[in-house]
A and B are shown apart, each in its own frame.
Chain A
Amino acid sequence: MPVIKTENISKKFGELKAVDEVNLGVEKGSLFGLLGPNGSGKTTMIKMLTGQIKPSSGSAKVLGIDPVKEGIRVREVVGIIPEQETPPSFLTSGEYLSFVAKIRKIDGIEEKSDWWFDYLDFADKKDVLCKDLSRGTRQKLMFAQAFLHDPEIALIDEPLINLDPVMQRKVKKFLKDYVESGNTVFLSTHILEIAEEICTDFAILHKGRLLHTGKTDELKEKGMHLDDFFMELVERS
């Protein structure tokens, strides 16, 4: 039984078809990579799945909840890292996590946020305004807020893009452990090396259309690399 499922989901912005009749199923406990070039519709997919925008047609279910009808409920149970790491400019990092905790009604925030500050190694930035943080530190903060309430599913949009190699390794390990404990990750990225390394399943999106879905292990068994496979598909379409 998939925890995320879409049926012919589409989104049009004026004349532009950002997502075009996509059918997806994401199984519980998988680290699912939604791959595609810039502008292929990955972010639009995440926004539709979390009820931030409404699809033009088709439907979706996340943990059995319809994001069109119950967008708030979906956003309550999942964790999200949006495409742009934009925490509110005039809150400090610590205040921002406290803000998220209050909105999500999470108890014991002090302890939880301290764990994240230590784990992602930015405790010295706890009292610094978000606008004065580097992009990498903002990315860490956005990562922390997404997992603060221990969600069953995390939908994360390019979460590693601004992180240094040390932190990337740490985050990748976290995601693998998170999935191994029965949770699900829906990762949107165009960095194929990362997807190949950590994803169990993947789908390739190009110009809003779904080109392929499959398992990374199957590719490895065939002796293929994800980036070669990706290039071949995208160039052919």
Chain B
Amino acid sequence: MFTLFTSMFKEEWRMHSTLFGNLNFALFPVLIFAIAFMGVFILPLITTVMDTVLLSIVVHAQFILLGIMVGSFGILGKEVMNRRFGQASLIAYSARSLPVSEQMVFLNFVVKDILYYFILWVLPFGLGFLAASPFLGINLYYPMLLLLTLSIAFLMGLCTIFLLSAIYSRSKPALFAVLAILLAGFLGSSILYSPGTVLSAVLLPVSIFDSFTYSGLLLSLGAIAVFFTLSILFFTSADTGSEKHYRNLLDSVSQRLGFLQDNTLVAKDFIDLYRSGIGIGQTIFSFLLPLGLIWLVLSFLREFLTQNNILFTIAVVTGVIASTMYTWVTEFDSISAYYFLPLNISSIIRAKTGTFTVLQVVPVVFIIAVGLLSDAAASIPNAVVLCLSVSFFELALMIRMCGLEPGTMIYNVRVFLKYILITGPVILVLLGLTFISPYLAYISVILFIPAWYLIKSGFKKWDNSDYAGF
């Protein structure tokens, strides 16, 4: 079994390094290390405007989110084996012709993903903090503890989402029942206990970092082990050989979308999202869950932030996360299925942009709900404009830099660095402006100008290059 694991690991590395070059990809963890290393030197500055507890929550929440993002591949449920293994012809596909159970193949695949992304993201971040600590006289105990708690945060996010997605692949009603129980438990405990107690239960790694106890460590490791084991047990693989009949949706959906230039391609995207379950799955796991977590964390910071500040922060984060909807519609189907038809790469990207635009209803509804529930209804229009401006700007950046491969191109260190360097200042400036006055949120519409330019130049760039695909 170890051979299977190491081969999959090498394969993942080769897939990324083939796309971006060995050096370019090898530099990715170095970049994360450098960001963490340099980040430590501005810690004294950050702590003047942000409480250390708040900072600890933000950092740990980010690694829980990272775990959720990495783990959310599992939402594809039955499709994960078909799509990732079948069409991409990975080792796991060949492994299915060996005398190995699909659960064992999947176990290897998941463990490989955990270790791979741990080495890629979590370890370099922790080591960056560790390496810089002596320069600021920080006791080495703290960076070591941080590495431990960030690893726990990453694994908790990953295993939680993985368990939920495994339940989802078995039965959608069961998933909704589990989510309802979790929500009821959360609301109930919010009434019975103080916000601090609830938060430390939800963000267990933060509590361990704040005051380390062996019981806390054992509890979190136990939870991870249970979630992980249940996920593997619940996992159900591709349902091959089924021959269910479906009524024709393409004609009616494309007719309904007749107002769009590429209505046929957009209709196909929506049928894909609907029939694969990716639409609802991604909305829950990659959108509502992470944003719900961020909203939860922010809502406990009411003594530091006003309701408007919280709403605008959520609007910006929602914009960033909503922009990843572009990866939903580009990742799960290979365009080699129709690229031999009279279509340009730019017309396919334009159609994906059309699908993306229609999907923006989801973040808009979310922002409206947050605004209404957090008693900031007057600022909803500003927040919606802010969210959509950020989302379309990020989409344009992805189109320009990644074309139809945003999910993989992000691991190209040059692409990632450019993305961070462009996105970071834009977000900070916008947040700063909304903190001065809610009306300044409308300034964000300026972003549509560079977005338009980036999309247009992206079309030209990708039309002039050979489509590589997988």
Contacts and interface: CB of A to CB of B under 8 A. Distances in A.
A89 B245 CA distance: 14
A86 B82 CA distance: 13
Contacts of A71: 344
Interface string A48-90: 0010111000000000000000011101100010101011111
B466 to A, nearest CB: 4
B87 interface: yes
A129 interface: yes
Contacts of A200: none
Given A52-B339, A88-B268, A98-B248, A132 B87 contact: no
Interface residues of B, number: 37
Interface string B243-270: 1111111110010000000001100100
Interface string B457-470: 00000000011000
B250 A128 contact: no
B342 A129 contact: no
A88 B264 contact: no
Contacts of A128: 243-246
A99 interface: yes
B334 interface: yes
A212 interface: no
Nearest to B263: A102
B241 A132 contact: yes
Contacts, number: 92
Interface string A75-118: 11000101010111111101100111011100000000000000
Given A86-B337, A89-B83, A103-B264, 10 more contacts: A52-B466, A76-B342, A82-B336, A89-B79, A89-B82, A94-B248, A102-B250, A127-B247, A127-B248, A129-B246
Contacts of B141: none
Contacts of B339: 52
Interface stretch (B178-186, B271-279, B304-312): B271-279
24 contacts: A52-B466, A52-B467, A54-B466, A82-B336, A89-B79, A90-B272, A90-B275, A91-B250, A91-B268, A92-B246, A92-B248, A95-B248, A95-B250, A98-B251, A99-B250, A99-B338, A102-B250, A103-B342, A127-B245, A127-B246, A128-B246, A129-B275, A131-B82, A132-B240
B83 A82 contact: no
A80 B247 CA distance: 27
Contacts of B340: 50, 52, 75, 80, 82
Interface string B227-248: 0000000000000111111111
Interface of B: 79, 82-83, 87, 240-251, 254, 264-265, 268, 271-272, 275-276, 333-334, 336-344, 466-467
A91 B274 CA distance: 11
A98 B250 contact: yes
A84 B83 CA distance: 15
Q: Which 4 A-B pairs have the closest CB atoms?
A: A127-B245, A75-B342, A95-B250, A102-B264
Interface string A126-164: 011101100000000000000000000000000000000
A88 B337 contact: yes
B246 A72 contact: no
A156 to B, nearest CB: 11
Contacts of A102: 250, 254, 264
B272 A88 contact: yes
Contacts of A89: 79, 82-83, 272, 276, 333
B87 A104 contact: no
A84 B336 contact: yes
Contact of B333 (A80, A88, A98, A100): A88
A104 B341 contact: yes
A65 to B, nearest CB: 12
Interface of A: 50, 52-54, 71-73, 75-76, 80, 82, 84, 86-92, 94-95, 98-100, 102-104, 127-129, 131-132
Nearest to B271: A90
Contacts of A86: 87, 334, 336-337
Nearest to B273: A90
A179 B271 CA distance: 37
Contacts of A103: 264-265, 338, 341-343
Contacts of A129: 244, 246, 275
Nearest to A87: B337
Contacts of B275: 90, 129
A146 to B, nearest CB: 9
B250 A88 contact: no
Nearest to B347: A72
B272 A72 contact: no
Contacts of A54: 466
Given A88-B333, A90-B272, A75 B341 contact: yes
A172 to B, nearest CB: 22
Nearest to B335: A88
A131 B78 CA distance: 12
B431 to A, nearest CB: 39
Given A72-B344, A92-B246, A99 B276 contact: no
A98 B271 CA distance: 14
B243 A132 contact: yes
Contacts of A72: 342-344
Contacts of A82: 336, 340
Nearest to B334: A86
A88 B272 CA distance: 9
A185 B192 CA distance: 76
A17 to B, nearest CB: 16
Contacts of A88: 268, 272, 333, 337-338
Contact of B341 (A91, A92, A100): A100
A185 to B, nearest CB: 16
A90, A92, A129, A132, most chain B CB atoms within 10 A = A90
Contacts of A53: 466-467
